[in-house]
Structures are given as C-alpha cells and as structure tokens.
Amino acid sequence: MLARAAGAGELPFADVEGRSVAEAFPKTSELLLGDQATEARAKALDDSVRYVHFAAHGLLDRRSPLDSGIVLATPRSKDEGDNGVLQAWEIFERLRLRADLVTLSGCETGLGRDAGGEGLIGLVRALQYAGAHSVAASLWPVSDRSTAELMKVFYENLAAGKPKDESLQAAQEALRRGTFAHPFHWAGFALYGDWK
C-alpha cells in the first residue's frame, strides 16, 4: 500500500514517489493515491503484505507520542474513528502486520518520546508492535523531492534482492554522489529492527 498526504499541505513528489516504489514491484504492488489513501484502508491491511510504504506527512507529538501520526486522506463521510490521521495509538490497538518493511517517508517519523528503559515511544515502536519486522523512518524534516529520489533507488535495490540495510545505504550513497549531495537530503533516514 502506498499513501500520500491530503489536507496537510501539498507534497508534489509524493505521487512520483508512490509510482516509483510501485514500479519496483509491478506484479505485486497496489498503489493508493489521493482520496484512496485512507486511514480505513491502512487499518485493513492484512498480514500477507510484504512492504508497506507511506509517502505522507508525519505528525510528531512530543508531549503525547501516541498521538503522533501519518496524515492520510480525509474521508468524504465521517466514518467513526476515521479522521484522516493514522495515529500511533491506533496502530498499537488495531493494526496487525507481518510486513518485512514499513517505510514512513514523512518528516520526523522516526522520532518519539524517550521512555527511559523502554526506548522511544512513537510511530516506529507502534509499527514494530503491530508486527513490522523493520521500519524505515526519518529523523528530521525531509525534502519531498529528494526523498522521492531516495525511495526510488531504495526500492529498486530491494527489488534487486539486496538486504534492507544495504539497499538504504546504496540509495543514500547514490544521492550523496548526485544532485542531492548535502546530508540533509539523504542522511535523515534510518532503519529500525531487522536489517536483513
């Protein structure tokens, strides 16, 4: 599943990003753009999905990290519990995955609140609790344009059979050698969980 933000400011390269990720897996991907990328669709993911990619805004709530979320399409009808933001607490309560990788390409999606010995509480932790083997997320506000390029190369590497850590590293290196050489454009993404 691929999703793009709606209603939280435009992400002009989110559709480009979604299409390039889907093109890496042309026979097995389902691409959801715009109004199709709803919270209800995200909550309905079954445990057979291998890769889940959200090209959407991330909302970080430092005071209440369980309220952090992924901004999806605002529903046309007011379905109960569907406000267009998939929040960390909803992921903990309602999502069950066996995904090999969930990617959150939005700003600050890898951040949360330090809960002492419990680690960071936020979207990454919620997705791991929901069953994701690995989560790729950002540590700071990221550029829509360079993120689209990074994700394109990342997923091409995954489709070629490279492990997740090598795929991300190779994508970051490709951007570093190209137009987006400044670390702002490529260094903000980290992989959490199983690196293979």
Query: Quick check: is 76 in a domain?
Result: yes
In this structure, are strands 120-122 and 112-114 parallel, antiparallel, or unpaired?
antiparallel
State the Cα–Cα distance between residues 177 and 121, nearest whole angstrom: 34
pLDDT tens digits, 84-111: 999 999 999 999 999 999 999 999 999 9
Domain containing 59 equals 2-144
Domain assignment present for residue 140? The answer is: yes
Confidence of residue 1 (pLDDT cuts 50, 70, 90): very low
In a domain, 75, yes or no: yes
Whether the model pTM is above 0.85: yes
65 is a domain residue: yes
Q: Are 186 and 171 in contact (CB under 8 A)?
A: yes
What total of structural domains would you count in the chain?
1
Tokens for 43, please give them.
């909550």
Instruction: Tell me what pLDDT residue 82 has.
Output: 86
Task: Confirm whether 151 is domain-assigned.
Answer: no
Residue 192 in domain: no
Q: For residue 136, give every residue at least 6 positions away whose Cβ sits within 8 Å of its Cβ, in sequence order, or none.
A: 101, 102, 103, 104, 105, 154, 164, 168, 189, 190, 191, 192
User: Distance between CA atoms of 64 and 168, rounded to whole angstroms?
Assistant: 30
Each residue of 52-90: pLDDT tens digit? 999 999 999 999 999 999 999 988 776 666 899 999 999
Tell me if 157 is assigned to some domain: no
Helix, strand or coil, per DSSP, at residue 71: strand
* Assigned domain for 178 exists: no
